[in-house]
Amino acid sequence: MHSQKMKKYVFLSIILITAISAFSQYSLDKFSNSYAVLVEFPNGSSGSGFFYSDSLYLYFVTASHVFAPPQINPLTNRAEYNLIDSLVTLSFYSRNPEVEERKMIRLNLRQLYFKKELLFNTESDIAVVRIGNLSNEGYAHVDYRKFVDRIGQNATVHQFVTADVTAYPKVGITNDVFIFGYPKSLGLRNSPQYDFSKPLIRKGIVAGRNKNQKSIIIDCPSYGGNSGGPVVQVNIETMKIELIGLVTEFIPYEEKWVNQNFKIENIEWSNSGYSVGMSFDWVQDLITLIQRTGK
């Protein structure tokens, strides 16, 4: 009898593990190439981001330093944003993996910022742009706002929606996470080992949460170009893939040595392998503000 129960337990465990694995793989397929967006400026500066829509509008989300590294005004002691350039190009792929052609949208950031369609949050390092209105036809059709230009007629975006999002309190420590982005700082330009125009995916776990900042510590390395890319968790309890935030920075490991004779200090930083993801709660706060103040 004991042997039969054990066999039944092992059999059910195998089915459960197989189901979870298959479900995760199936769900992640739709997030792979088409949901990570490449942000490119004319001067070569780049980063990552993603599209998100609620029931009314389509937004683009990224880390604020991807658009405009903040500078502190010594007179006001407040951060001021100096846009890298007025124009930025967003590149992304079709949901169909067989389609290799990239789609593009160009934003006039200066005008969108003036119209309060682009807002920054210095505390969370997040930027949100409202780029379109959803028509009565639903998510499939978008009326793009002024200063948002599609390059080509088939630039249909694939966005996260409200049902994909999980709030900060429901982010589970030790849950598997995946980050999507364009870490173009990696590799050798003269001898490329991967296609810089396509996103890369990294897998890790939720290592911790910083309640004061509503940030998520991820046991997963990130590099230059990953900033702004989406972070999703695998929720085993609900069997869902959930958007929990975006990558904002890696956590450095600091090494310091001191020459005692000459009192010279040397400090070096290296990548610790941990990254910081800001909760989607911050994004939602900016979206609410845009809806109140946008012109």
d(CA 252, CA 232): 22
Q: 192: which DSSP letter?
A: -
d(CA 136, CA 146): 19
**Collapsing DSSP states into helix, strand and coil, what is residue 248?**
strand
The amino acid at residue 176 is D
Give the global pTM.
0.84
Helix%, strand%, coil% for the chain, nearest 5: 20, 45, 35
**Collapsing DSSP states into helix, strand and coil, what is residue 285?**
helix
User: From first to last of its 295 residues, what are the pLDDT tens digits of the chain?
Assistant: 555 555 444 444 443 444 444 444 445 665 567 789 999 999 999 999 999 999 899 999 999 999 998 777 777 777 677 899 999 999 998 776 667 788 899 999 999 999 999 999 988 999 999 999 987 655 557 889 999 998 876 667 889 999 899 999 999 999 999 999 999 888 777 777 878 888 999 999 999 999 999 999 999 999 999 999 999 998 877 778 899 999 999 888 878 777 777 778 888 777 788 999 999 999 999 999 999 886 6
d(CA 178, CA 243): 10
